[in-house]
Amino acid sequence: MDTSEGAVDVFECGTCGNVAVGDGGPTCCGDPMSTVGTDPVVEPPTLEELLRTVFDMSDAAMDICLCVMEGGEQTVLELAERTDYDRSVAARHLNHLVELGVLEKRRKLLKEGGHVYVYSPKSPETVRRGFERQFLLWLAGAVDRLEELRREKVEGIVDDADDTQWQLYHEE
């Protein structure tokens, strides 16, 4: 990983093997952790893969997001007309983007009576921070799932200690 502003590195403890992600020099077991090499076994995701996997953004959501980012404040109807998506589809994706912290939603009173919701982009810095926060929350959940897998595997090995297949592999 590069050391440009906002970049993070992966660190590993030489003593216990703990792994950490951060932008500073974390310590573990009383010593500084070492930076892990930049040759990952798994290729880093593309931006599209990341948005789809972590933020549950479909192609339609990405289209709508870009349309609002480029076009500024818009209503569901205006956006549906510009993107050729049904109003209900546009509204669903707009609300998801609001939940993600990408867009702002506010109620606008109409001169002729009634109201309409308008959606506008948040600042790029706000969006970046929001995405980073949500990604780290997602990452924490992913690490928890991997830890569950590790525990289940260890428990399975202990439970199957009398299994002859395990003993065969173990003896080789």
SS3 9: strand
pTM: 0.65
In whole angstroms, what is the distance from residue 57 CA to residue 47 CA?
11
Full pLDDT tens readout for the chain, 172 residues: 343 455 778 888 889 888 888 777 788 999 999 888 766 677 888 888 888 888 888 889 989 998 999 999 999 999 999 999 999 999 999 999 999 888 999 999 999 999 999 999 999 899 888 888 888 888 889 888 888 877 777 777 666 655 555 554 555 5
What is the domain partition of the chain in residue ranges? Answer: 1-39, 49-124
Residue with tokens 């998801």: 96
In whole angstroms, what is the distance from residue 7 CA to residue 19 CA?
17
CATH number of the 49-124 domain? 1.10.10.10
Evaluate whether the domain defined by 1-39 bears CATH number 2.20.28: yes
**At residue 61, what are phi and psi to the nearest 5 degrees?**
-65, -40
CA trace torsion 60, 131, 1, 45 (10° rounding): -20
Size of the chain in residues: 172
